[in-house]
């Protein structure tokens, strides 16, 4: 395995070197803009998106009861992925009047439809879980919410 690892690492370093030398010597590369975009890509995940998802995760844990919670988490993962892929289409800055056949659809409607389909699927799953597991016990959940929001009287 040591040989395999050494081979992988050496190939990887060679490829990265090729990338860096190529980028430094290519007249097509705008180095400053390229580096900024790389840095923004890193920060976008580490500083913006990851904390956002963690925050949503904490909120779901507090607000959504099992056995629905897993379905809501799954549906949110799908929604987030579709959203990331769709944002430039939703903003629509790529459209130009001379090219009506490029980006020809109503992407806001398409996005809403897609997300609705995802959550309709999630609702079906939740309905199935309700039948399988029965109505989730309110007492434990109410008790837990009660602990967190003591001043708030539920029922």
Binders of another protein among residues 33 to 92 (CB under 8 A) are: 33-34, 37-39, 41-42, 44-46, 49-50, 53-54, 57, 61, 65-67, 69-70, 73-75, 77-78, 80-82, 84-89, 91
Give the residue among 42, 43, 19 at the shortest CA–CA distance from 31: 19
Cβ-based nearer residue to another protein, 139 or 153: 139
Nearest approach, Cβ of 130 to another protein (angstroms)?
14
CA distance 103 to 108: 12
CA distance 101 to 11: 43
Binders of another protein among residues 104 to 143 (CB under 8 A) are: 104-105, 107, 109-111, 113-114, 117-118
Nearest approach, Cβ of 131 to another protein (angstroms)?
17
Based on the number of CB atoms within 10 Å of its own CB, is 71 exposed (0-12), middle (13-18) or buried (19 or more)? buried
Nearest approach, Cβ of 151 to another protein (angstroms)?
26
Cβ-based nearer residue to another protein, 39 or 142: 39
CA distance 50 to 145: 26
Cβ-based nearer residue to another protein, 129 or 153: 129
CA distance 94 to 103: 8
């Amino acid at each position: 395995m040591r040989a395999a690892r050494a081979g992988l690492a050496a190939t990887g370093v060679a490829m990265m070197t090729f990338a860096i030398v190529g980028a430094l010597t290519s007249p097509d590369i705008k180095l400053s803009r390229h580096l900024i975009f790389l840095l923004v890509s890193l920060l976008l995940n580490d500083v913006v998106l990851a904390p956002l998802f963690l925050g949503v995760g904490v909120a779901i844990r507090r607000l959504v009861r099992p056995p629905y919670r897993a379905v809501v988490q799954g549906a949110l993962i799908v929604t987030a992925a579709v959203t990331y892929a769709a944002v430039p289409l939703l903003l629509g800055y790529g459209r130009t009047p001379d090219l009506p056949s490029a980006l020809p659809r109503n992407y806001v409607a398409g996005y809403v439809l897609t997300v609705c389909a995802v959550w309709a699927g999630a609702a079906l799953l939740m309905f199935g879980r309700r039948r399988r597991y029965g109505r989730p016990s309110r007492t434990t959940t109410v008790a837990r919410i009660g602990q967190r929001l003591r001043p708030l009287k539920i029922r």
